[in-house]
Every structure is written in C-alpha cells, then in structure tokens.
Amino acid sequence: MSNHRVASRYAKSILELAIEQGQLEEVFADFKALEEMAKSSRELVLLMGNPVVSSEKKLKVLKALFANGSSKLTSTFFEIVSRKNREGVLMDIASEFVFQYNKFKSIQVAELTTTIAIDAEQKKQFVALVKEITGMKEVQLVEKVNPSIIGGFVLKVNDRQLDESLSSKLKALRVQFTQNHYEKQF
C-alpha cells in the first residue's frame, strides 16, 4: 500500500476520533506543529524514516518534541503509530491531517506569487476569486514574493494554476516567434 493511502487512512481516523472527543483544535495544533517541524528539519524526517533506529527511540524523540504540551490524544496516537512501526509515514500523516482538517472546516489554502507584496484590497479580490473557484467558505492565502516573474501573478489552488505572470507570457511569445508560419511545413 502506498504511503499516501496509509497516511490518509491514519489521518482520517485521528480526525474522526478528535471530532468525537471534542479535541479537534488541540490535535490540529499538534499536527500542524509536526508538519512545520518536518518542513524545517530534514534530519527529523530522515530519523523517522530510518529503519535502523528503533521505534522506542523514535517515540522518545516525539515525546521530547511535544513534552511542553501536546494533547493526550496525540500522544496516544504517536504510541500506536510507533507500535505499528509506521513512524516513516508520520510526516505524511501530519500533512494529510492538516489537509483533511481544512476540508472538514471548509478552508481553502491558496498560494499567490507576485513580484511585490499586495495590499489589503488586492488580497480581498484574490480571496473572492478563490472562493468563487472553489466554493469554500474561508480562504487562507499564502503570499510569496518572487521578482523573477517580472510582473503579474501566479495563483495556485489545489492542482490548478492560474499563471498571469509576465515571464510566462514572454516565454510563450518567444516560442511563437521561433515558429515560421510562412515556410511550408512537411
């Protein structure tokens, strides 16, 4: 079974249990923190995926990372994952949990790349556009600044991408100019 399917099933289980026990926000905070740790620490991801390191040591590392206050449900979940020797997919489970939480709460995460930071009015327009595209109630706009797109914007929503950047339009023009429409094609 693929890691994504395993992660999806574990994430769905812990999400349903957290909803049932009324601890959804606490568990979400824990998994969001774990996802951030995975993004910032390659060593942690490698450690969790290393088959040479014992499950007990991996569990000790997780307990040390969340020693200052994780929910009881999250701690129990980490122990179950450790007993099943599935620590290697724990980071995927965290990402999948955040995705399923957003879906449950009707939150759409969209990534906007522009050449300069946008103001509040422009942000409101992009949020309205994403709401129109997805039909979700709430939108979290992740803003990135990338001067190499020259002008315009790139908006990513799930697997869709709206590329209205000047650099992509220039590339398209370059390709169009390389084609000679007046020579006979064989």
Does 9 share its domain with 89? yes
Domain end point (choices 79, 103, 127): 103
Does 10 share its domain with 22? yes
Q: What distance in Å separates the CA atoms of residue 133 and residue 140, rounded to the nearest whole number?
A: 14
Q: What distance in Å separates the CA atoms of residue 106 and residue 136, rounded to the nearest whole number?
A: 5
Q: 46 lies in a domain?
A: yes
Q: Which residues pair with 145 in a beta bridge?
A: 114
Range of the domain at 111: 107-178
pTM of the predicted protein model: 0.79
Does 125 share its domain with 163? yes
Does 130 share its domain with 96? no
- 94: tokens are 């965290």
Q: 54 lies in a domain?
A: yes
pLDDT class of 103 with cuts at 50, 70, 90: very high
- Share the mean pLDDT of the chain: 90
Domain end point (choices 82, 103, 124): 103
CATH number, domain containing residue 35:
1.10.520.20
153 C-beta neighbours (distance < 10 Å), count? 18
Does 97 share its domain with 121? no
Does 61 share its domain with 112? no
Q: 55 lies in a domain?
A: yes
Q: 80 lies in a domain?
A: yes
Q: 185 lies in a domain?
A: no
Instruction: For strands 107-114 and 153-157, give the pairing.
Output: antiparallel
Does 98 share its domain with 116? no
Does 87 share its domain with 162? no
Q: Is the confidence at residue 36, as pLDDT, over 90?
A: yes
Q: Is the confidence at residue 93, as pLDDT, over 80?
A: yes
Number of folded domains that form the chain: 2
Q: 114 lies in a domain?
A: yes
- 31: tokens are 């998994």
Q: Is the confidence at residue 2, as pLDDT, over 80?
A: no
pLDDT class of 184 with cuts at 50, 70, 90: low
Residues 6+ apart with CB under 8 A from 31: 14, 74, 93, 94, 97, 98, 101
Does 96 share its domain with 157? no
77 C-beta neighbours (distance < 10 Å), count? 23
